[in-house]
Amino acid sequence: MTHAQVTWPRQAGPLVLRPPTREDLDRVLAWRNRPEVTRWLLHTTVEPDAFRRRWLSAVEDPRDHSVVAELDGEIVGTGSLEVIDGIGQFDGDDWRDAEGLIGYLVAPDHAGRGYATHILAGLLEIAFAEVGLRRITGACFADNVASWRVMEKAGMRREQHGVRDSWHAEHGWIDGYTYAILAEEWNPVG
């Protein structure tokens, strides 16, 4: 399968984005399962060994561009970019029409400083400028105002408001939003 080589590490505002190491993931696990983080996640808690295995296997997967976000040697967040086939597209060897799914997470001690915006901007640059994807989507709970504002700041548009389509561990079925952006709509921030 042909795929683009992504340049690591890379700047995203004040952050450095790069593939994770086992040590990085141990530092992420220090805050990943905290209630203020899990409040907005589908998987509210993760088993540490399974979490490490999944993230470390992603480093070798050409369709996965998961990153840690580092600031002055501290891991302040994570980001994920997974390459997927578009609807009606088969698993071929040409990514010219492939899409991507994005996600981001910021350590609670670093929330509210714009780091999610920088992580998302960095992921969009990887997706469009290096990997050559045509479309990126992301989703969040409708009540997660901070998350959907990050996607809107990045130029993504709300394409779906799913009524009670998202399972929340504490609240049951709640509304969810899906956002997207096409390569030709992307405006890299400089």
Q: What is the pLDDT of residues 163-173, one digit of tens each?
A: 999 888 778 89
| Residue 114 φ/ψ region, left for φ over 0, alpha for ψ in the -120 to 50 degree band, beta for the rest | left
pLDDT at 38 over 70: yes
**pLDDT tier for residue 1 given thresholds of 50, 70 and 90:** very low
Domain ranges in the chain are: 10-185
pTM equals 0.90
Q: What is the pLDDT of residues 53-84, one digit of tens each?
A: 888 888 888 899 999 999 999 999 999 999 98
pLDDT at 92 over 70: no
CATH number, span 10-185: 3.40.630.30
Closest C-alpha to 54, from 22, 85, 84 = 22
For 98, the token pair is 């492939």
Distance (Å, whole) CA 104 – CA 6: 18
